[in-house]
Amino acid sequence: MPADTVSIMGIFSSEHTAASVIDALRETPWTIERVHSPIPSHVIENALEPPKSRVGWFTLAGGIIGFFAGFLLAAFTATRWSLIVGGKPVVALVPFFIVGFEFTILFAVFGNVLGLISQARLPRFGTQAHYDERFSGDRFGVLARCSADEQDQLTHFLEENGAEIKPVSER
């Protein structure tokens, strides 16, 4: 974080007001650092326009790895034990596809869980910086960052849009 930037927290009583400020901040040179909400809010989520999740790619990769791991495990086991199969091929495709399918499901679940943990940056220990207890009750918070010489402009912008300003100290 550059030393010449300042964070300002705007506290709002309405999710629609917070969402409109988020939309307006996108058209300014200031950046939105974090948004706090006491409830899951589709209005705020749509205003933030979050990027598409990459967890699905982890699930796909896990499924592909699982299919080949299951198929190869079954083939390796059949060739290693030299079972007498009565003139049939030792590596039979149909039964090994079933094992591959089961491993696909198992590894896709593992990939999904790993993707969720890594993309959500879990676990998070301790409270987040700049958190106010009112965000667990009935208030919405928008933390914005600006250069030090624009601090008054950002404060005025947030107050003009109905925000209560909370002084933010850098940790």
- 49-93 pLDDT tens trace: 999 999 999 999 999 999 999 999 999 998 898 777 788 888 889
Residue 128 burial (10 A CB sphere; 0-12, 13-18, 19+): exposed
What pLDDT does 2 receive? 62
- Domain ranges for the chain: 5-52+127-166, 55-119
Provide the H-helix boundaries in 11-146.
15-26, 42-48, 55-81, 93-119
Helix (H) or strand (E) holding 160: helix 151-160
Question: In this structure, what DSSP letter does residue 150 have?
Answer: G
Whether the pLDDT of residue 110 is over 70: the answer is: yes
Q: Using one digit for the tens of pLDDT, what is the confidence trace for 140-157?
A: 999 999 998 999 999 999
The yes/no answer on whether domain 5-52+127-166 falls in CATH 3.30.70 is yes
* Measured distance CA(55)–CA(121) in Å, rounded: 12
